[in-house]
Chain A
Amino acid sequence: MSKRIDVKDLNVYYGDFLAVEDVSINIEAKSVTAFIGPSGCGKSTFLRTLNRMHEVIPGARVEGEVLLDGDNLYGNGVDPVTVRSQIGMVFQRPNPFPTMSIRDNVLAGVKLNNKKISKGEADVLVERSLKGANLWNEVKDRLDKPGSGLSGGQQQRLCIARAIAVEPQVILMDEPCSALDPISTLAIEDLINELKDQYTVVIVTHNMQQAARVSDKTAFFNIAGTGKPGKLIEFGDTHTIFSNPVEKATEDYVSGRFG
């Protein structure tokens, strides 16, 4: 239940502005890939092109190919909705639906699409998803309470439960821990380690230790200057990137000597 992603010569534009230039990368199935780099270098933008979420912003477009197990996401007639139901996303700020209970939040992907699901199946799905997100024990007694009443870390895990409830092939995480405290961060990192048994996980992070802790492979993005496009500088095993990088810029960045 997981697929690989291969990106070939991808350019991302906002209107006429080239935001990310010429990225080629191969993301293995059932692995954790981390994107690191300074702010504004295009790693979040690039992540959002992997499930066509960048199209939500008016004027955003891409050139190049993103292949999900060989199928081009940007091929003719591909419905972005189909893409997104296979490639889920967790955002920087936890965003549970405020009008829904915890249970309904987990079932949101099913219910919002008006798929019929029996109560028994729904219960199984809710329990499985919440257990998958390490949240079941904390919320099992208050599934009917609003999701917005949870703590920040719990809300983020609820969002992860919501994402895995639609059984995607790939989960994209856009700085999922940047709004959380160390304890919640640890909980999410443990969760990422468990998720990679079943899913392909791609995570954007500002925290290099986090990238070192959770990922199998790391991609370093950088930007030459303001107004210039972001580029993929180096991509390799996390261990290599952090201990013995090829590029000088990567070494400067991971050793904190940047700028």
Chain B
Amino acid sequence: MTSTLTPVRSKRSALTKGQLPKYAPYIVLAAALIVGAAILALIGFNAFGWGLVSALLFAVGLVSWSAAVEGSRKAKDRLATCLVVGSFLVALLPLVSVIWTVLVNGVPGLLNPGFLSSSMNGVTGVYDNRAVEEGAPVLGGIYHALLGTVQITLLATVISVPVGLLTAIYLVEYGNDGRLARAITFFVDVMTGIPSIVAGLFAAAFFFAVVGPGTKTGAVAAVALSVLMIPVVVRSSEEMLKIVPNELREAAYALGVRKWRTILKVVIPTAISGIASGVTLAIARVIGETAPILVTAGFATSINSNVFGGWMASLPTFIYTQILNPTSPANPDPSSERAWGAALVLIILVMILNLAARLIARIFAPKAGR
């Protein structure tokens, strides 16, 4: 009777025995979501709790299932994966939340007529009241603040990049880890930790003493920002110069090239992509500074294109004043709409800078083609 039966072979290979199927995590996830929803329904539903409970259930369920089928080594691997992915999601949460909030609140402000092309000059509470009560368009814009931010940051970059890059070159090429080099490294580290408001106060006090009391211009703000920027530029350029292989320097020396020419023509071109992206990230770091700009550049509602004279607006201080001192105290909504719009523009600027950093790194990177 058995002769007619072909032996029943298990569909799964012996080599893959004792493994959960590929879709196991999805089953557990679905189950966790359903069970989580049920538990939350009992104690009062909210989305955050649902996510948390489901995540815990998913981790416990998948790990114990895996422990039962696959053994403890695989179960530990699954647990580690759960922890890593979980941490990633937690870390991502604030970012997504910030971007979402700014997008939702900022897009209406951004779409107001003339938002990018007009200043707040002449925009008084009367117009804001009219906008709220009669539905007239919200007037006023961020042109002056955008112009200020771009000018101040540009000037800060012009100040910090030469100082920072030359410092990094000294540290890597000439310092030899001597006493001066170690002292510079130490003070650069200290500078990294300076609170931005202190940098602002330093710049303000410096210009008060040198130029005259009450000197508030975009240039003063640029000096304050460069105090914050220089250590970042030094650090990133230093790392980039350090990874240039010594062999390239020796190759140049062996051709009878002088040290400074070797640095200028071999070392820096080899490291330029990293240096450029480091500088761009340093710009992104200071472009959103508020406190040092408030105490150094003051605040303006009209367009000031002279970075060396007169008070100057910037995006962060614009946001700050719009929220804190609405143009129309009775109807603060148009002001906060403008503030969110400005915040969105600021975030977009920073993102563009980050993308630019990647692009620059790619353009300058040494090409290894045939």
Contacts and interface: CB of A to CB of B under 8 A. Distances in A.
Interface stretch (A19-27, A37-45, A89-97, A246-254): A89-97
A185 interface: no
B370 A145 contact: yes
B96 interface: no
A109 B253 contact: no
**Is chain B's interface secondary structure helix, strand, loop, or mixed overall?**
helix
A100 B254 CA distance: 17
B256 A148 contact: no
A89 B254 contact: yes
Interface in B233-269: 245-258, 261-262, 265-266, 269
A192 B256 CA distance: 22
Contacts of A113: 255-258, 261
A93 B246 CA distance: 11
Which interface residue of B176, B256, B257, B269 has the most chain A CB atoms within 10 A? Answer: B256
A52 B255 CA distance: 12
A88 B257 CA distance: 11
A112 B366 contact: no
Contacts of A51: 254
A97 B254 contact: no
A53 B246 CA distance: 12
Contacts of B247: 91, 93, 95
Interface string A62-103: 000000000000000000011011101101010111110000
B368 interface: yes
B254 A149 contact: no
A256 interface: no
B264 to A, nearest CB: 9
A159 interface: yes
Interface residues of A, number: 33
Interface in A162-219: 162-163, 166
Contact of A114 (B248, B252, B261): B261
A166 B256 contact: yes
A84 B255 contact: yes
Given A146-B366, A149-B368, A81 B269 contact: no
A146 B257 contact: no
B369 interface: yes
Contacts of B246: 56
Contacts of A58: 176
Contact of A109 (B245, B249, B256, B367): B256
Nearest to B366: A98
A84 B368 CA distance: 29
A32 B366 CA distance: 36
Contacts of A130: none
A188 to B, nearest CB: 17
Interface string B351-370: 00000000000000011111
A108 B270 contact: no
A155 B261 CA distance: 23
B255 A166 contact: yes
Nearest to B367: A146
B255 A146 contact: no
A91 B258 CA distance: 19
Contacts of B265: 111-112
A87 to B, nearest CB: 8
B370 A97 contact: no
Contacts of A142: 370
Given A95-B245, A146-B367, A149-B370, A84 B253 contact: yes
A163 B366 contact: no
B255 A108 contact: yes
B118 to A, nearest CB: 46
Given A84-B255, A113-B256, A166-B255, A97 B266 contact: yes
A166 to B, nearest CB: 6
Contact of B269 (A53, A86, A99, A146): A99
Given A56-B250, A97-B266, A112-B265, A88 B255 contact: yes
Interface in A110-159: 111-114, 142, 145-146, 148-149, 159
A113 B252 CA distance: 10
Contacts of A89: 250, 254
Nearest to B269: A99
Contact of B248 (A53, A85, A95): A95
B259 to A, nearest CB: 8
B253 A56 contact: yes
Which interface residue of B253, B254, B266 has the most chain A CB atoms within 10 A? Answer: B254
Contact of A95 (B250, B258, B269, B368): B250
Contacts of B257: 81, 108-109, 112-113
Given A97-B248, A98-B270, A112-B265, A88 B254 contact: yes
A91 B253 CA distance: 12
CB-CB nearest 6 A-B residue pairs: A85-B256, A98-B366, A89-B254, A109-B255, A95-B247, A149-B370
Interface of A: 51, 53, 56, 58, 81-82, 84-86, 88-89, 91, 93, 95-99, 108-109, 111-114, 142, 145-146, 148-149, 159, 162-163, 166
Interface of B: 176, 245-258, 261-262, 265-266, 269-270, 366-370
